[in-house]
Structure formats: structure tokens, C-alpha cells
Chain A
Amino acid sequence: GDSVTQMEGPVTLSEEAFLTINCTYTATGYPSLFWYVQYPGEGLQLLLKATKADDKGSNKGFEATYRKETTSFHLEKGSVQVSDSAVYFCALSDRTGRRALTFGSGTRLQVQP
């Protein structure tokens, strides 16, 4: 079945550091890919998405590129802020059937001032 693998956390960075959170996936067909973010005590919010190979999703300074050849969707940000501290989830959605999301286990990011 479908699966998503994320790098384990926590990831601890200083403010203005460069961020990469790795995500790889296994799926049949051509899934849509997502990054969701969960701030403390809240539900998940969509951060960005990509629906086909070589698409780049971007939002709030975060970017991720759909790489079909490496089955990856790594999240990057050039300069993190304390307010970016949260848990980040990579997810995929198949294009048929139930259209539910398959999530990775999440990566906690802690940004220190």
C-alpha cells in the first residue's frame, strides 16, 4: 500500500538557519503530495501541495518540489523563524477511491532565538 517516510525529529535550528525536512513516498500511480503543519494545540493546516511531477509548491517561504524520479518531496525554507516551530507532516493522496491522506509520522521543528 501507499506509505510516506519522513526524517525523524526533533530538528533544532537557530533563527535564520536553512531548513530541510526530507520526505519520500511509495505509491502506485501518480499521487498528489502535501505538506501540513500543526502548531501546538491546533489541528493540521495545509502548508503547500503539488499535484504532478516537477511541480513546486510554495507558501510562507517554504518550498517543496515533486520529484518523481526519486519519489521525494523535501520541504525547504531559506531562513526559519521562531514562529515556524511546529510539527510538519508530509502526506500523499491517491487520485482514486477514498481520496484520504496517507501521512508520514511527522517531524518536530524547534527554532531557537
Chain B
Amino acid sequence: NAGVTQTPKFQVLKTGQSMTLQCAQDMNHNSMYWYRQDPGMGLRLIYYSASEGTTDKGEVPNGYNVSRLNKREFSLRLESAAPSQTSVYFCASSEDQGNIQYFGAGTRLSVL
């Protein structure tokens, strides 16, 4: 039972490079989320997808794009990475009710 799987676990980019963070869940959840975690700031919502085919901005969407490829997969893309995007990124999923979110292990990204 894998739950929420994120790839890669670690990544180093140069300023201006692009990359896509992958996330997949096997719990048949409708909603999926991308957060970033920075020291002393908790987790902040970047984008979310309430259901397959829909996406919407969260608290800190600038510099990111997302794709809900199907019910299982929700990817986060950095088109032109900046040092300010150095962070740990977490994907999460939840059912419609109860609002319990299940998190992946995270992707640690450094932008030089």
C-alpha cells in the first residue's frame, strides 16, 4: 500500500532551469495538493486540485504550474527555477469528506 508517492526525492537545479515534480496516489482520492515547507513557516499551499480536471491557486502559486493528469497523478512544474524556490515540496491527497490529508515523503529542491 504505497499511499502518496513523490519523485524525485532530491534535486539540484541551476537558476533558470525547468523541472517537473511528480506525485501519484493509489487511494482513489478526489483531491490533491502541493505544499512547500520552509524553515519557521510551516507548510504553505501552492496549488490544489479538488477533482480530476480541475486545478486552482493556493497561497503561493507564483512561479509554478500544475497538471492533474488523471485521478491518480498531480504534477508540479517549475518553468524557470529561482533560488527563492529552494524548499521541500510535499504532495498530499484527501477524500472529499473528513479533510484528512495524506502526505508523500517530500522532494528536497535546491536552486543554485
Contacts and interface: CB of A to CB of B under 8 A. Distances in A.
B41 interface: yes
Interface centre among A99, A104, A105 (most CB of B within 10 A): A99
A15 B105 CA distance: 28
Interface residues of A, number: 22
Interface in A27-70: 32, 34, 36, 41-46, 49
A106 to B, nearest CB: 6
Given A43-B106, A89-B42, A106-B42, A101 B90 contact: no
Nearest to B6: A43
Contacts, number: 55
A43 B9 CA distance: 11
Interface string B7-47: 00000000000000000000000010100000011111100
A45 B4 CA distance: 12
A101 B104 contact: no
A93 interface: yes
A44 B42 contact: no
Interface of A: 4, 32, 34, 36, 41-46, 49, 89, 93, 95, 98-101, 103-106
Nearest to A44: B103
B99 interface: yes
A49 B100 contact: yes
A41 B99 CA distance: 24
B33 A45 contact: no
